[in-house]
């Protein structure tokens, strides 16, 4: 059996796309881990599985490299929109896409679908919605002690859970040190994504990212939305901000109505088939 797959990246955040309308590959946790492995498989930050056409519209599943499922991925949504465009599924440049983390509005901004804008919905700082353990509250500038240090964390959900820590200096090394500890901290019953935030000015922030189920990541759309939302809630930025990540930049607009708009690029990498030999190992 040969299986078609497609690979895209958004600012270095790369995903494999498997289309259930073109392949019957059973996606077990073991198969997902193998395909995402950068030495034994194709290598990626996750798998976008879809489209699934239902009465209300197009649905997408987002699978992490460890075999778990994510509610939402901003970069993943843009990559999947580009795939829908490339595969000829789209009739209009604007459409709705359904993820486990909610419905998003997508707009393709150019003729090659290389620049895509997404309405990522709204942010909530409610501990119950995120979730964060303890009494129902908004988790804003709350102290958390890890690895012998105390940090002021602001937690929120933009369809998936995030923990944002503002710091004067950030680095990959610190993200890799704090990431696995905070991701799996008992305060977060569903685990959590971590963003280390440095505010450069009222319209520019910089982040380092540790993603739940994936690890250190060069770029993340939902992380950018979360970091911008947290920074705005803390009074550190204005409504329109550029988010700088190791893989590149995204534009985030926080509207008066609460909607979060993310605009950024997508690049097609390659497509191919999986060999029977590889599949027999999964």
Binding region for substrate? 13, 64, 74-75, 160, 193, 211-212, 221-222
Measured distance CA(226)–CA(217) in Å, rounded: 15
Dist. CA 103–CA 97, nearest whole Å: 6
Structure token digits, residue 77: 């949504």
Q: Which residues are annotated as a binding site?
A: 13, 64, 74-75, 160, 193, 211-212, 221-222
Picking from 273, 54, 264, 130, the residue whose alpha carbon sits closest to that of residue 140 is: 130
Q: In this structure, what are the phi and psi dihedrals at residue 225, rounded to the nearest 5 degrees?
A: -65, -45
DSSP secondary structure string for all residues of 50-114: EEEEETTEEEEEEE-TTS-EES--HHHHHHHHHHHHHTT--SSSEEEEEETTEEEEEEE-STTS-
Could you tell me if 46 and 76 are in contact, meaning their C-beta atoms sit under 8 angstroms apart?
yes
């Amino acid at each position: 059996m040969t299986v078609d797959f497609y690979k895209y990246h958004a600012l270095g955040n790369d995903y494999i796309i498997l289309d259930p309308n073109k392949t019957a590959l059973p996606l077990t946790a073991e198969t997902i881990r193998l395909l995402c492995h950068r030495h034994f498989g194709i290598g990626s930050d996750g798998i976008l599985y879809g489209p699934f056409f239902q009465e209300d519209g197009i649905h997408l599943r987002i699978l992490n490299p460890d075999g778990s499922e994510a509610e939402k991925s901003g970069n993943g949504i843009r990559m999947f929109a580009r795939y829908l465009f490339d595969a000829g599924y789209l009739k209009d440049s604007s459409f709705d896409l359904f993820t486990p983390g909610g419905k998003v509005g997508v707009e393709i901004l150019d003729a090659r679908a290389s620049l895509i804008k997404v309405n990522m919905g709204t942010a909530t700082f409610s501990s119950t919605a995120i979730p964060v353990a303890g009494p129902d509250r908004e988790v804003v500038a709350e102290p958390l002690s890890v690895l012998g240090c105390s940090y002021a964390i602001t937690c929120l959900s933009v369809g998936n859970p995030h923990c944002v820590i503002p710091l004067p200096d950030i680095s990959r090394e610190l993200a890799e040190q704090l990431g696995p500890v905070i991701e799996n901290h008992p305060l977060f019953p569903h685990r959590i994504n971590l963003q280390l935030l440095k505010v450069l000015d009222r319209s520019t922030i910089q982040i380092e990212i540790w993603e739940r189920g994936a690890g250190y990541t060069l770029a993340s759309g939902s992380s950018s939305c979360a970091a911008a939302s947290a920074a705005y809630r803390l009074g550190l930025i204005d409504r329109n901000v550029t988010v700088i990540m190791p893989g590149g930049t995204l534009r985030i607009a926080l509207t008066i109505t609460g909607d979060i708009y993310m605009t950024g690029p997508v690049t097609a990498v390659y497509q191919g088939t999986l060999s029977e030999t590889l599949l027999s190992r999964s």
